[in-house]
Structure 1
Amino acid sequence: MPLCDLIPSLLEGHDNFAYFCKFDDVNKTEGKETLFSSNGKPEMMNSQEEINRFFQTLKGLDDGIDIPVAITFDFVSENFPGVKFLRSEWPLIMSFIPEKIEKGTYKRIAKKERKIVARENLEDRKLTEIIAQLRERIRNGEFLQVVISRDFQLPAFDPIRCLREFLEFDRSVYVYYYRFGRFQIIGSSPENLVTMKDGRITVDPIAGTVRRGVTIQEDELLGKTLINDSKELCEHRMLVDLARNDLARVSIPGTVKVEKNMEIGKFGNVQHLVSRVSSDSATDDLLEVIRSVFPAGTVSGAPKRRSLEIIGMFEDTPRGPYSGSIGIVGRNRMDLALLIRSVYCSGNEYYTRSGAGIVCSSVPEKEVQEIFTKSLNVMEVARIESFND
């Protein structure tokens, strides 16, 4: 029995749980599941002292033991002091010490896939105007790139069925469902923030987007269009360079390498350009490594501090957990997914959020449509599950 089928019983008996599934094979058909549960009080960290104490406790864990963690975008306040942005009600970091840990394997049907194709356009005049302003600032040399985002409200739905939809039909690397008291996150992320194992650090930047095709032929044609799109290539190269610079701060000199460069990755409703940057770590301090890469350049921009200032100036709703990270941490290892393509729940409010990277050659209307297209997978799953209730 897949571990995800045990979650309904945990909903009744446990205040906190975390389901984390990582698909590693090329076809993303077999995933390693971990299910954490606890009745203890979750750790809701909002200060540097609390965060330092938490990461210090990790050093006392036995080898091979992991615990769940989620880091919200609000952690920017600790990582980039002085940057002003809208804070959310979410804690900076959430975790709990599990009383029970179970492991399993989830197997997807290799050919089973749901492609969601955008059949309408999103019109957002205000966002279009903002993107046009940002493009002009970039052309004037103020910064190189920025990721601007917006949220989409969702109807209430069954989170377990939503999780199963992500597990069965999506082709993302990470699928998860975490609950810390009244805060819940359900998602399917194609990208990591950072992975560290056996002294090796890995970051997989994803940037450059095109929709999926209705037919196999159209799908392939759109993929070729993406790999030859100068705007998308420019955006991706900048973010690969940013990832290299981020890792260089915590790596042994000369070990930072681009292992994979601008390959096409196909997901539920979009195709992306995908790369991989890796290095040998010069530190065993997980918090130091997280600080070096947080937030990911693919959800902030370049240069990073200035892009965060721009986000604070132009985004009129808090990001909350969006563009943070979620995953597992241990004594000297971690695997953190980038918090995108997810549903965020605080109390009875459900929403998702997505963004687009703005560069000097951006077309505002196309960027708005990209934001909409990236949210389609989550919105469609939520719509299906709300209609099934």
Structure 2
Amino acid sequence: MLTHHFTTTHSPSTLTALIATHRPDWQVCFLNNNHRPVIGICPKTAWHIEFDSTFTAHRYDRHTGQSFAYATTYSDWQKELIAYGKNLDCPSQKDEYTHGLMGFIGYDISAHELNPTIGIKKNQPCAYLGHYDVYLKKSDAGFELFGIDVGELFFNEIKNDLADLLKETLTQPQLAQFNPTWQKQDYTQAFNQTQEYIKAGDTYQINLTQKWQADLANLSSHLPNLQHHMNAPFAGYLQLTNFELLSVSPELFFEFYGENGDIHLVTKPIKGTRPRHANPTIDDDLKNELKNSEKDISENLMIVDLLRNDLGKYAKVSTVKTPKRFAIESFKNVHHMVSTITAQLNNNHSLTVLFGSLPAGSITGTPKKRACEIIHELEIAPRGAYCGTMGYMNFDGTGIWNVLIRTAQKSDKTELWAGGGVTIKSNLDSEYQECTDKVGAILAVFESASI
């Protein structure tokens, strides 16, 4: 392993934005990793998955600088990734990225796997994973650059380029004006249809979402400001050719960790939301209202049961536990109700569990397949990456993955979505307001456009 220390006062999000601005060819990937940030650059191998009636993998090789395309499927790509990493070394370091894959798997590709009639967003990747053998981690007074089994000449080139890049200043972010693609009457129609499906017994809960849209030159210059204001534990950013993904997600999908030779798993689904308030007394009242809400508790319980069922397919007998139910966790702009589920995996690979459990139950509803079908029918367009997952998987099967909520994606236009779980007890105005509460603080940052 090669290493080099850089002294700088830049935050991880600022350094990521500088790389994205000045070295877009590096395919930078930033993961906040529950406040243990890592920045991947210059992947050795990378897979872009695109869809145009069938799935095509574009596999890039850094050594040749070339990529080649071939037909694939959701399950075949998963098998290829497992085979690729099977014999690659992974230094041991708990709860950290050390050597593996970083990137995202979008909502559309996994929902399409449940039902092939579910649409996939065109003109952008529906998934991407890169083997990042060069990466940066925050250290005292700066960053540490790591190179795993890379040539010294290549490592020194990256080191020198980074030294030059740290002298650059970040471009002022562009003022953004997001417009909703649904008006209140559009949401009302979809909400009412959801209620009809619930009454008919098709579903118990649907995570109904809506989209805001803007014209932006880039997302990277907004990353430092957004992360500063939101302080999201599972934030992430990825830059590819003609595509950016910027997430300030508070939600953990899966954490895979090793213990006594086995892989264990933690998932923390979020269901139940109240806005924060500047007045501490009112803020406490909102928090207690959520804590005692029968509707939110039942909504959370449905998703807990769904995830326990998902994990039961991959866990050792009697190891799926729910050590914490309905805990209230407070974030910058909202209070959330969060439960915790744990399991010990059987002989399945961690990637098999990840692929097989997508999309996350907290952003679909129950039962999952029927919920995805109803979402496809009612929402205005495919979700793309939104409500998928972003994170890393080390080659030893450890890793951390978020749920891609509070997430902007940019291809031609920039899209930002928000939603919430609709049940038989839901109130139209409250659910509509919940969408606004979730997205409001993010919109305010984009619209202020100051570092």
Please identify, of 41-50 and 130-139, the stretch whose mean Cα deviation from structure 2 is larger.
41-50
Distance, in Å, in 2 between the alignment partners of 1:267 and 1:126 is 29
Please identify, of 55-64 and 232-241, the stretch whose mean Cα deviation from structure 2 is larger.
55-64
Distance, in Å, in 1 between the alignment partners of 2:270 and 2:212 is 22
Aligned length: 365
Distance, in Å, in 1 between the alignment partners of 2:19 and 2:303 is 42
Cα deviation for residue 154 of structure 1 reads 3.0
Gaps of 5+ in 2: 1-7, 50-54, 56-71, 91-97, 142-181
Cα deviation for residue 135 of structure 1 reads 1.2
Q: In the alignment, is the contact (CA less than 8 A) between 1:147 and 1:358 conserved in 2?
A: yes
Q: Match for residue 113 of structure 2?
A: 79
- Percent of aligned positions with the same letter in both sequences? 23
Cα deviation for residue 291 of structure 1 reads 3.0
Q: Match for residue 29 of structure 2?
A: 18
Please identify, of 94-103 and 289-298, the stretch whose mean Cα deviation from structure 2 is larger.
94-103
- Relative to structure 1, the CA distance from residue 77 to residue 234 in structure 2 (aligned partners, 3 Å threshold; closer, same or farther) is closer
Distance, in Å, in 1 between the alignment partners of 2:399 and 2:439 is 27
Max Rg structure:
2
Confirm whether residue 4 of structure 1 aligns to residue 38 of structure 2. no
Q: In the alignment, is the contact (CA less than 8 A) between 2:419 and 2:435 conserved in 1?
A: yes
State the one-letter code of the partner of 1:18.
C
TM-score, normalization by structure 2 = 0.76
Cα deviation for residue 134 of structure 1 reads 1.0
Gaps of 5+ in 1: 24-30, 108-121
Distance, in Å, in 1 between the alignment partners of 2:82 and 2:284 is 45
- Relative to structure 1, the CA distance from residue 167 to residue 57 in structure 2 (aligned partners, 3 Å threshold; closer, same or farther) is same
- Relative to structure 1, the CA distance from residue 9 to residue 238 in structure 2 (aligned partners, 3 Å threshold; closer, same or farther) is closer
Cα deviation for residue 32 of structure 1 reads 1.2
Distance, in Å, in 2 between the alignment partners of 1:254 and 1:60 is 31
**Cα RMSD (Å) of the superposition?**
2.3
Q: Match for residue 344 of structure 2?
A: 280
Confirm whether residue 33 of structure 1 aligns to residue 14 of structure 2. no
Cα deviation for residue 346 of structure 1 reads 1.0
Q: Match for residue 366 of structure 1?
A: 430
State the one-letter code of the partner of 1:264.
I
Q: In the alignment, is the contact (CA less than 8 A) between 1:163 and 1:176 conserved in 2?
A: no
Please identify, of 9-18 and 331-340, the stretch whose mean Cα deviation from structure 2 is larger.
9-18
Distance, in Å, in 1 between the alignment partners of 2:283 and 2:217 is 31
- Relative to structure 1, the CA distance from residue 167 to residue 183 in structure 2 (aligned partners, 3 Å threshold; closer, same or farther) is same
- Relative to structure 1, the CA distance from residue 53 to residue 191 in structure 2 (aligned partners, 3 Å threshold; closer, same or farther) is same
Distance, in Å, in 1 between the alignment partners of 2:340 and 2:417 is 24
Q: Match for residue 84 of structure 2?
A: 57
State the one-letter code of the partner of 1:62.
D
- Relative to structure 1, the CA distance from residue 149 to residue 312 in structure 2 (aligned partners, 3 Å threshold; closer, same or farther) is same
- Relative to structure 1, the CA distance from residue 155 to residue 380 in structure 2 (aligned partners, 3 Å threshold; closer, same or farther) is farther
Q: Match for residue 336 of structure 1?
A: 401
Cα deviation for residue 165 of structure 1 reads 2.5
- Relative to structure 1, the CA distance from residue 155 to residue 126 in structure 2 (aligned partners, 3 Å threshold; closer, same or farther) is same
| Matches for 1:219-368 after TM superposition, within 5 Å | 219-331=283-395, 332-347=397-412, 349-368=413-432
Distance, in Å, in 1 between the alignment partners of 2:427 and 2:407 is 26
Distance, in Å, in 1 between the alignment partners of 2:215 and 2:248 is 18
Cα deviation for residue 206 of structure 1 reads 0.3
Q: Match for residue 115 of structure 1?
A: none
- Relative to structure 1, the CA distance from residue 282 to residue 129 in structure 2 (aligned partners, 3 Å threshold; closer, same or farther) is same
Q: Match for residue 166 of structure 2?
A: none
Confirm whether residue 92 of structure 1 aligns to residue 92 of structure 2. no
- Relative to structure 1, the CA distance from residue 369 to residue 220 in structure 2 (aligned partners, 3 Å threshold; closer, same or farther) is same
- Relative to structure 1, the CA distance from residue 157 to residue 369 in structure 2 (aligned partners, 3 Å threshold; closer, same or farther) is farther
Secondary structure of the equivalent of 1:259?
A: strand
Distance, in Å, in 2 between the alignment partners of 1:163 and 1:372 is 21
Secondary structure of the equivalent of 1:32?
A: coil
Deviations 1:107-155 (A, max 9, x none): 9xxxxxxxxxxxxxx9510111210121132123221111111110135
Distance, in Å, in 1 between the alignment partners of 2:201 and 2:43 is 52
Higher RCO structure (Cα 8 Å, ≥6 apart): 1
Distance, in Å, in 2 between the alignment partners of 1:39 and 1:204 is 30
Confirm whether residue 150 of structure 1 aligns to residue 215 of structure 2. no
Q: In the alignment, is the contact (CA less than 8 A) between 1:205 and 1:240 conserved in 2?
A: yes
Q: In the alignment, is the contact (CA less than 8 A) between 1:152 and 1:353 conserved in 2?
A: yes
Confirm whether residue 208 of structure 1 aligns to residue 268 of structure 2. no
Distance, in Å, in 1 between the alignment partners of 2:45 and 2:256 is 28
